[in-house]
Amino acid sequence: MKKKNITTVTYEYDSVDELSKEEQILIQKSKSAVTNAYAPYSKFQVGAAVLLENGEIITGTNQENAAYPSGLCAERVAVFYANSKFPDVPVKAIAVTAFTNNNYVKTPIPPCGSCRQVLVETETRFQKPIKIYLVSESKITVINDAKDLLPLNFDESSLNN
């Protein structure tokens, strides 16, 4: 038997003022996007903003459905739209913000497993890491690579196993 450790490194900021202007704009776009979320059932609105290498910022929101599995998370809406509109432009970063009970969440929320898989696939597709900003009312958690969120991911080698 071999024991393997998997370590994820995150960085925590108490204020957007600690980040670059580009990062601040990306975070503000994710916060603004939550107002467009369609979340009549959970009342948990999520906004995502994707920064592409060409400087474009694409936003997305969660889209619920009475049949819950038919909805889609903000992260995937934003990434899929970005990949559809700019198919040859790598994703540089994504910011994710959630809003519920008339306020932004108190602690940053991580992407679900499906969104993590899509982020890793997007990194693999462009062979570039995606920086992830998880934004709450008073904290920002930064992860430098989507693979840190899903270190044991399903990829092309899994299909050819």
Residue 143 pLDDT? 98
Neighbours of 72 (CB within 10 A): 18
24's enclosing H/E stretch is helix 21-33
- Tens digits of pLDDT across the chain (161 residues): 999 999 999 999 999 999 999 999 999 999 999 999 999 999 999 999 999 999 999 999 999 999 988 999 999 999 999 999 999 999 999 999 999 999 999 999 999 999 999 999 999 999 999 999 999 999 999 999 999 999 988 888 888 86
DSSP state of 109: P
Write down the catalytic residue from 64, 75, 121, 123. Answer: 75
Assess whether 121 carries a catalytic annotation.
no
pLDDT score at 152: 86
Question: By the 8 A CB rule, do 149 and 18 touch?
Answer: no
Domains present along the chain, CATH in parentheses: 11-151 (3.40.140.10)
Beta strands in 72-113 (DSSP E): 91-100, 103-104
Quick check: 12 and 141 in contact, CB under 8 A? yes
Angle between helices 113-126 and 74-85 (to 10 degrees): 20
Give residue 95's pLDDT: 98
